[in-house]
Amino acid sequence: MNNSERVYRMSFASVYPHYIAKAEKKGRTKAEVDEIIFWLTGYDANTLSQHIEKKTNFDNFFSQAPRINPNVSKITGVICGYRVEEIEDKLMQKVRYLDKLIDELAKGKAMEKILRA
């Protein structure tokens, strides 16, 4: 199993607390993490909770997303050593978009900049 397959099979619920911890360590909030997830995926509080309870894997989490935000192309830069805009694998790119947005939150970037307003 390659690295990508391992990521796709991971449950979103297993990584979600790490997103929150990373944000909170830098004085940001769970609500801001959720707002980023809602913006990126089109999920709302109810559907996000369902995916966390069901331990949906990353593959299904993104393939079942109501609507990937049309402004994702504005997310650029390096995360985990890769330029997000150049990642060929569309699923891995979505995972890295989320990583990048959470990273920006932890670095203190304003929400309207993170959400590409």
Q: How confident is the model over 1-49, as pLDDT tens digits?
A: 678 888 899 999 999 999 999 999 999 999 999 999 999 999 999 999 9
Q: Which two tokens stand for residue 34?
A: 């959720």
Q: How confident is the model over 64-117, as pLDDT tens digits?
A: 999 999 999 999 999 888 899 999 999 999 999 999 999 999 999 999 999 998
Would you state the pLDDT for residue 111?
97
Specify the number of domains making up the chain.
Answer: 1
Host H or E run for residue 41: helix 30-41
Who wins on pLDDT, 3 or 58?
58
CATH code for position 74: 1.10.8.290
Owning domain of residue 24 = 3-114
Would you state the pLDDT for residue 3?
80
- Residues 6 or more apart whose CB falls under 8 angstroms from that of 58 comprise 7, 8, 9, 10, 11, 12, 15, 91, 95
